[in-house]
Amino acid sequence: MKDITTPDIFLSLISFLMLSKQQIITVGAEHDLTATQSLTLIITDNNNPRPMNSLATIFGCDASNITGIIDGLEQKNLIVRTESKADRRKKVIMLTEVGLAKRKEIFSEAVRKYEALFDNLDKRDVEVFTRVLAQITNECPNKVA
């Protein structure tokens, strides 16, 4: 195993994450979404409805900011708020049919713009990279998805 105390692994990871985030934000802007709206749309998973307060933690902002973000996504018919099945006091967000389609469209466009970064990797390298990222994020206690 590589010595993870050296900064190069973190710098590489941060660079990759920043590039990925910027692609989502750029494509989202082309769909009339703010940066945070774009990222919210991407990380929302109807199989695992997200409590609204978790977004405040993820984005490092006040819950009132999240309310405004969700309001904007609701006005565009991309997200709905509903009661949590586990705790009716909590509100969770889910994608509408329009939101699911928009999310898929943004992903597809971002991937098309981003795939050149993977041109120097063969199929096996991409599979290993994907598996390693999944392994790392599945072990993360504060994972986004």
* Residue boundaries of the structural domains of the chain: 7-138
Name the band, by pLDDT with cuts 50, 70 and 90, for residue 144.
low
Q: Per-residue pLDDT tens for 11-40?
A: 888 888 888 888 889 999 999 999 999 999
Pick the CATH number of 7-138 from 1.10.3720.10, 1.10.10.10, 1.10.1200.10, 2.60.40.10: 1.10.10.10
| Beta-sheet strand order (sheet of 79-83) | 50-51, 91-95, 79-83
What distance, in Å, lies between the first and last C-alpha atoms of the chain?
26
Name the band, by pLDDT with cuts 50, 70 and 90, for residue 142.
low
Q: What single string gives the DSSP state of each residue in 50-118?
A: EEHHHHHHHHTS-HHHHHHHHHHHHHTTSEEEEE-SS-TTSEEEEE-HHHHHHHHHHHHHHHHHHGGGG
pLDDT recorded at residue 33: 96
**CB distance 59 to 36 below 8 Å:** yes
pLDDT at 143 over 60: no
Q: Rg for the chain (alpha carbons), in Å?
A: 17
